[in-house]
Amino acid sequence: MRGTVLKDPLSMLRAGTVVIGLLVAGAVFGRPTDAADAATAPQGEPVAEDREVILITGSTGGLGREVALELAGTGTHIVVHGRNQERGEEVVRQIEEAGVGSARFYAADLASLAEVRAFADAILRDYDRLDVLVNNAGIWLDQETRQLSPDGHELHFHVNYLSHYMLTRLLLPLIERSTPARIVNVSSVAQRPLEFDDLMLERDYSDSRGYAQSKLAQILFAFDLAEELAGTGIGVFALHPATMMDTDMVLSRGAEPRASVREGMESVVRAVRAPDLQSGQYFNGTAAAEANEQAYDEEARARLRRVSEDLTGVPR
């Protein structure tokens, strides 16, 4: 039996998101004293002692929400994440009303490295274990003008890949203390090789190219991490959930859905739950599949690792 999930349950109130907001504001606007104060402020509700903890990025809607509701139904504690507080709190409410699992919402914008750091700090502060990390949050912009994050990086690359690289690296010590554990990167069949001399897509930008490059970057990272963590009890996987699911990402483009979000959920839940999966695999839905060949190129993976270390300041 493991120790308590939350470090200081008796002092916890339902104020988690406000505190994260303060913490993030402190990080973003460079007010370390405020951030430090916020870090000791009371947090959400206590959860049962021996609950598994699963963090799903982008679980305020779409696929992440569906995965959160499904996994909460097995008695898990879900860390719900996204930017939209109202939708995040609604997912928490649904989980708590179902009476099986438990949940708390944390707001953090993955377009900001400072917010990723504050989010990771909050999780490291509030939890003694993290059994599963699902890197799911994603954007597929519907505009032909290149968008940059506040940190100056191409927005798909930043939100879909770079912030997840940083979050995973920062949370790894906690995941290592929680083995057996899993990390699942939600990628896509829409994957396209990275061009290392134009990672920020200053030449020939298109939203599809931005999306596809970021999705392959997630797979390179998963394979790299699987190799690094071999024998530690942490399995690392990447997958394409389903094609053109009926989520905001697809519907907001006016596109015709070709799959239900439930189908995609089953693929993610399988990667989280199925016993005896060999780490370092890529799945198309629920079937083992080959990713783009760049994912098997060790030099490309090493280059991406170096770039990611430089851009985030978080080393391997």
Ligand X SMILES: NC(=O)c1ccc[n+]([C@@H]2O[C@H](COP(=O)([O-])OP(=O)(O)OC[C@H]3O[C@@H](n4cnc5c(N)ncnc54)[C@H](OP(=O)(O)O)[C@@H]3O)[C@@H](O)[C@H]2O)c1
Q: Which residues contact ligand X by CB under 6 A?
A: 58-64, 82-84, 87, 109-111, 136-139, 159, 186, 188, 240-241, 243-245, 247-250
Q: What does the alpha-carbon distance between residue 177 and residue 181 come to, in Å, rounded to a whole number?
A: 9
Q: What angle do CA 118, 62, 136 make, to 5 degrees?
A: 45
Tell me, what DSSP letter sits at residue 241? -
Tell me, what DSSP letter sits at residue 161? I
Q: What is the nearest approach in angstroms of ligand X to the Cβ of residue 223?
A: 17
Q: What does the alpha-carbon distance between residue 283 and residue 26 come to, in Å, rounded to a whole number?
A: 39
Residue 80, amino acid: V
Give the residue with the Cβ less far from ligand X, 139 or 225: 139
| Nearest position to ligand X, beta carbon | 62
Can the peptide bond before residue 9 be classed as cis, meaning omega within 30 degrees of 0?
no
Q: Strand ranges (DSSP E) for 157-206?
A: 181-186
Q: What is the nearest approach in angstroms of ligand X to the Cβ of residue 108?
A: 6
Give the residue with the Cβ less far from ligand X, 176 or 259: 259
Give the residue with the Cβ less far from ligand X, 18 or 244: 244
Give the residue with the Cβ less far from ligand X, 131 or 263: 263
All residues at 6 or more sequence positions from 192 whose CB lies less than 8 Å from its CB, including other chains:
209, 212, 213, 215, 216, 292
Closest CA to 281 of 215, 225, 210, 211: 225
Give the residue with the Cβ less far from ligand X, 129 or 240: 240
In angstroms, what CA-CA distances link 197 with 151, 294, 314?
Answer: 19, 15, 22
User: Out of 165, 211, 282, 296, which one is annotated catalytic?
Assistant: 211
Q: What does the alpha-carbon distance between residue 270 and residue 37 come to, in Å, rounded to a whole number?
A: 40
Mark whether 282 is an active-site residue. no
* Residues with catalytic function: 211
